[in-house]
Amino acid sequence: MIINRIWSMPNKNTFSIKPIKELIKKYNNPNLLSVDPFANNSKLAKITNDLDISYDTTHHLDALIFLDIFENESIDLILNDPPYNFNQLKQCYNIQKESKNLNDNYDYWFQIFKKYHEKLKKNGKIITFSWNSSGINMSNNLEIIEVLFVPHGGIHYDTVCVVENKLF
């Protein structure tokens, strides 16, 4: 497992943070089917989704509905960067009422993670961005292959990036 720690300024647009953008580019390329269920303004994935219709994404659906578009075992790379908590939703995003489920409902997240497992190809990757290093591993069919800690200094939380590989 690769573990790195690279300091960088914080940004509400996670993928504009230089070491994070470089990590994504390391695992992504134009030949892969890459998806971002919580894209915000990011264009790093081939197919993007965000509930907020003000963002220029390919879809504007709830993440569960968005993931149903794809065949099982068809996705090469998933970028998993949902709002980290309800306060972040209120402070950084225009959507509040419809998105309350994102952080208040554990069953919702269980369903999202289950869909990730179903839709990801064998040897496909999922990169999870959050304030902890748990990734999405709900069983033993994902292995953590890389962790990147991005401290932002002062009163800011670190951004933790966990890259997992689907074994079977």
Give CA torsion, residues 96, 98, 100, 102, to 10 deg.
Answer: -120
- Tokens 């933790």: give the residue: 160
**Number of domains composing the chain:** 1
Q: For residue 60, what is the domain's CATH number?
A: 3.40.50.150
Ordered alpha helix ranges (H), 7-139: 18-27, 63-67, 86-92, 101-104, 106-119
CA pseudo-torsion sign 37, 17, 125, 166: negative
What the block records as the tokens of 122 is 């064998």
Residue 77 domain boundaries: 2-166
Would you state the pLDDT for residue 27?
98
- Give the model confidence (pLDDT) of 28-84 as tens digits: 999 999 999 999 999 999 999 998 899 999 999 999 999 999 999 999 999 999 887
- Give the model confidence (pLDDT) of 155-165 as tens digits: 899 999 999 99
